Chain A
Amino acid sequence: MKAARIILPVIAALCLVAASAPGWRWALPEGVAPPAVPADNPMTQARVELGRRLFYYADLSADGTLSCANCHVQRHAFADSVATRGGVDGSSGRRNAPGLANVGWLTPLTFADPGATTLEVQAVTPVFGTHPVEMGMAGREGELVARLARDRCYRSQFARAFPASGGRIDFTGVARALAAFQRTLVSYGSAYDKGRMTAEQRAGQALFQRDCAACHSGPHFTDLAFHRIAAADPAASDQGLFEKSVREADRGRFRTPSLRNAALTAP
């Protein structure tokens, strides 16, 4: 009972926070333009707050054990600490969950799917995907909506985040809110960004520019292109871009990962 007495006011406070801050203002360093935002999903405080809560909401998975945050761990710069993680059905994972720093600026978003061009589109894959199964909700969208609708705070938050639809709770809204939250995961505070590197770091930068920056280029240290760095192996369990394009030339090609917060995102 004591725990419930503590939790309820906190939830109520979160609902009020979501309600009291309309609109959105980016806090970015000078010269950094905001990321592209889909016209049908404008940034608002209410959507960001809803997305943040959904990001940590394990009921997005079939058995209530896996939230986005389980694989995108905040203390690891929203990356995973293991190479792969199994799905809720016990099946094996296939690819390492990348960090999410500055993910709003990245497109395509994932290692081998050129169709995942927006965060709204990408949200479908972990929740409903079957290759591999992650959160295991394929065919269970109605159940997901029912879980959210049972929660008074979610009903309130959806109403504030999506007033034009009367607060309709559906996966489109879930994906839009998650995308809005992820666009707030901004990283421009490193010594590199501030131009305050040590002599050793500057020496490393020179080596990096010579040997790494052909692919790890730009402000997010990725050229966002698909590359193959070893000989194609048709027997490999992960064929990369080929699995989507079915073009022989795409076997073993993967999108260059961002190196933002690389010190925290191993492996």
Chain B
Amino acid sequence: MSISRLKFLATGLAFIVAGEATAQMTSDEPPACTAVMAPTGELAAWITPVAVTAAGREGRSSAAPLMVGQAAQVTLLPTPEVAYPVRPDKPGGSVSYGGLLRLEVRQAGTYRIALGSGAWLDLVARGKALTSVAHGRGPACTGIRKMVDFALTPGRHTLQIAVNGEPQVTVMAVRLP
């Protein structure tokens, strides 16, 4: 691995910091990029997303699965059409977009949710938003705008995406080693 490659990875990792998700929208501005770079490691599949349509209500989110390790190009709904099971800290205006995805966790561990925008995300289990263990920017110039880590136990979770400025966003959930 070249030195520049190591520097790149170090840069990407340096922006993950321990802390609650309440700070997840406080990530600083992304660096200027001259070219898009593919992420590596667990996030390598980021560049090959499958199409998923988010649900507007929790009962229907079974139709909108987010598979661990598989990136998804998610089509969102206008915010007024989304009934969030837990009110997002930043719900967004009527012209923003959001939606719900189902995340099935089969193995306990730390999971990272990567997002291609600065949207607000919550992971909900048994009616409560979980507290994240770390958050930060994605690796520079990969298109991953933010990453939020959660310590999860097996079971069904609902990923809430709120206050997105565009009707589509790329999302990926990975289990960290």
Contact = CB atoms under 8 A, between A and B. Distances in A.
Interface of A: 1-4, 57-61, 63-65, 67, 70, 73, 75, 80-86, 88, 92-93, 147, 150-151
Contact of B90 (A70, A85, A93, A150): A70
Nearest to A147: B94
Contacts of B26: 73, 80-82
A85 B29 CA distance: 6
Interface of B: 22-23, 25-30, 57, 79, 83-85, 87, 90-96, 118-119, 163-166
B84 A82 contact: no
Residue of A57, A58, A75, A86 most packed against chain B (CB within 10 A): A58
A64 B84 CA distance: 17
Contacts of A63: 95-96, 165-166
Contact of A59 (B25, B27, B95, B119): B95
Contacts of A81: 23, 26
A64 B27 contact: no
B16 to A, nearest CB: 16
A63 to B, nearest CB: 4
A146 to B, nearest CB: 11
B94 A82 contact: no
A65 B92 CA distance: 5
A87 to B, nearest CB: 10
A64 B165 contact: yes
